[in-house]
């Protein structure tokens, strides 16, 4: 079962994404890339993980 994570962008926006995201996730406010798919798990590239949920 995939976990979800709340990622905070450098601009201050927080949004939810799956740790197994298969597409690039961009910030809905500033458009910067937040998460990139890398094989099985996604890698946070433009922010920090604030929380992880099941």
**Average pLDDT, stretch 23-46?**
94
Residue 6: partners with Cβ closer than 8 Å, 6 or more residues away: 14, 15, 16, 49, 50, 51, 52, 53
pTM: 0.83
Tens digit of pLDDT for each residue in 3-18?
A: 999 999 999 999 999 9
Buried b (16+ CB within 10 A) or exposed e, 6-26: ebbbeeeeebebebebeeebe
Identify the structural domains of the chain with CATH numbers, from first to last: 4-53 (2.20.25.100)
Rounded CA-CA distance 7/35 in Å is 9
Model confidence at 37, pLDDT cuts 50, 70, 90, reads very high
**Average pLDDT, stretch 34-48?**
92
């Amino acid at each position: 079962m995939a976990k979800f994570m709340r990622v905070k962008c450098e601009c201050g926006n927080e949004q939810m994404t799956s740790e197994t995201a298969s597409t690039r996730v961009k910030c809905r406010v500033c458009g910067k890339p937040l998460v990139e798919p890398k094989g099985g798990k996604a890698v946070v590239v433009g922010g920090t993980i604030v929380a992880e949920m099941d």
